[in-house]
A and B are shown apart, each in its own frame.
Chain A
Amino acid sequence: MVHHSKSGAASGYSDNIFRIITLACGMAILIIMTGVFWELVRNSRLSITKFGFGFITSNAWNPVTEEFGAAASIFGTMVSTLIAMVIAVPLSLAIALFLAQLAPPAVRRITGGAIELLAAVPSIIYGMWGLFVFAPVMADHVQPALQDSLGFLPLFQGPPMGIGMLTAGLILALMIIPFISSVARDIFEMVPIVIKESAYAMGATTWEVTRKVIIPYGLQGIMGACFLGLSRALGETMAITFVIGNDHTIGASLFASANSIASTLANEFTEASEPMYLSALIELGLVLFAITFIVQILAELILRKAGKKGGRIV
């Protein structure tokens, strides 16, 4: 409760109104959160009742016969995110290590600024760059090289078109690196200097201090940072829509075109004129919402346990 200054009933009254207004604005956040969930469920009821649980497992996506299943989109989201995480987590930790432990102050400021800018670049710009600049490089150099060396794996078979699952995963990796590395850097910097210094005094090298002192000390925070990156990658839309190729298929080849939940939504939502089609798309949105909601809550809980407040790149 608020303790009013006893300057009179009038100010107590106006203070109450002020408090209620700010409270209402704070409540708006909770109301929006609930509203999103409610509206997604309400508007996908048609599809939920028709397809039931089969919506998640079925690979059918045919607007003409009105058969809808989310498997291909979910598969694409999972695989592109997996590629992104496999690449981004080690790179981000290395960058965080560089920023927190190795770089001299001037280099640190410039590098830190550049990484922050990578986070500020809008998704659609990554999409433009990915489609017109990066995908041709993939098609002409990276994919043929992969095929020459690892072409016996089903992962790297098929025509090198530049766009497709692998390119989408790589661009996603690039986009989440700043998020993971900035949180990981804060976590690294939270390790008490005394602990680090005592390890150095024992003759440990920088790498040994990192591996045996800093990483174990900040493990929870690093996990939280990775979850934040994971949640970004799962919901990333425009960049993926530009480069993933937009094809509802599940295949082993990373060179092939695919689809993610978000890219399906971006491509098809405005074309969906039939109620069932629209409802299926909104249910797809509900699936994405549920996944990112859970990941985000885990990230918050882990980071809160790790003692880090909500500060992060805006």
Chain B
Amino acid sequence: MNLRSTNGRKIADLLIKLMAGGSAALGILTLGWILYSVGAHGIRAFDWAFFTELPAPPGLEGGGLANAIVGTLLITVIATLLGVPIGIMAGTYLSEFGEGSKLAVMIRFFSNVLMGIPSIIIGIFVYTIMVRPTGHFSGYAGAVALGIIMLPVVARTAEDMLAMVPNSLKEAALALGAPRWKVTLQVIFRAARAGLITGSLLAVARISGETAPLLFTALNSPYWVISLNQPTPNLTVTIFNYAMSPYPDWQRKAWGASLLIMISVLVLSVGVRAVMRGKR
């Protein structure tokens, strides 16, 4: 074997290894840079008023985003109440009744496709079925849009989690004469409980930073939430509006809202993964 070519091969190998390590380092550094920026800018917006007061009129300093915090929480809760039960039931169909069925193959396939459809398209869809017919934007429409985004995510994770429950457990319950629905609800769901909760929380994490689907549905509002049947204040659309405004105080508040969103997403996804890891 030729010595020089061996050296060349080793050098090429080393270069590739360095590039691979460098790319990974670049990823970590960028994540650090983003987290640092959000933290450093955002913390300056945090004061008592930020969490307790209504927004100040354009151009004036002070005020807070309490209404948007409440609005985001309400919209997220309703979206979860829509997306999680329907998603878990859909996952149940796929895992319990879907074996060998063409329909299940199709539902599985299109829930993957639906996950990849841009969220702004879901926003337009809900606009056409809820906002346009009623003639006004509403928090409910926002919640429906987010619920639709959660649905395929919950369905697919629920299917995986339910499929992991050992068959022997199922068969033991069926052998006792329990009807299938009872076995599913009381035995399988209980056994897969941790997984189902984890999957649902990850779906909540995914929607809690969503902005595009809310732009045309919940819109935004500078007032308290009185009813979800009208434009509803929320943090993400507020970030968009405030960041694009010429007022430094509003831009600072946009950073504050970003930090709040970032913290909740991090707590949800890191926390859930830690719990999952601990379970194993």
Contacts and interface: CB of A to CB of B under 8 A. Distances in A.
Interface of A: 2, 4-5, 7, 11-12, 14-15, 17-19, 21-30, 32-33, 35-36, 39-40, 42-43, 91, 94-95, 97-99, 101-103, 110-111, 113-118, 120-129, 131-133, 174, 177-178, 181, 205-208, 210, 228, 231-232, 234-238, 241-242, 262, 265-266, 269-270, 282, 285, 288-289, 292-293, 295-297, 299-300, 310-311, 314
A28 B96 CA distance: 17
Tell me whether chain A's interface is mostly helix, strand or loop, or mixed.
helix
Contacts of A116: 269, 273
A289 B202 CA distance: 25
A54 B199 CA distance: 45
B150 to A, nearest CB: 10
A205 B212 contact: no
B124 A122 contact: no
Nearest to B92: A22
B125 A39 contact: yes
Contacts of B177: 5, 7
B176 to A, nearest CB: 9
A32 B148 contact: yes
Interface of B: 9-10, 12-13, 16-17, 19-24, 26-28, 30-31, 33-34, 37-38, 41, 86-87, 89-90, 92-94, 96-98, 103-104, 106-114, 116-122, 124-125, 127-129, 132, 148, 151-153, 155-157, 160, 174, 177-181, 184, 199, 202-203, 205-206, 208-212, 215-216, 219, 236, 239-240, 243, 251, 254-255, 258, 261-262, 265-266, 269-270, 273
A266 B211 CA distance: 10
A128 to B, nearest CB: 5
B157 A118 contact: no
Contacts of A132: 37, 41, 243, 251, 255
B212 A43 contact: no
Contacts of B160: 311
A114 B261 contact: no
Contacts of A314: 153, 157, 199, 202-203, 206
Contact of A228 (B19, B116, B179): B116
Contacts of A238: 211-212, 240
Given A7-B179, A32-B148, A122-B210, A26 B94 contact: yes
Given A132-B41, A265-B120, 20 more contacts: A12-B179, A24-B89, A25-B87, A25-B92, A26-B94, A26-B155, A30-B107, A33-B113, A40-B128, A95-B20, A114-B31, A116-B269, A120-B266, A121-B34, A122-B209, A128-B258, A232-B116, A235-B117, A238-B212, A314-B157
A123 B178 CA distance: 47
Contacts of A125: 34, 38, 209, 258, 261-262
A26 B107 contact: yes
Contact of B212 (A126, A237, A292): A237
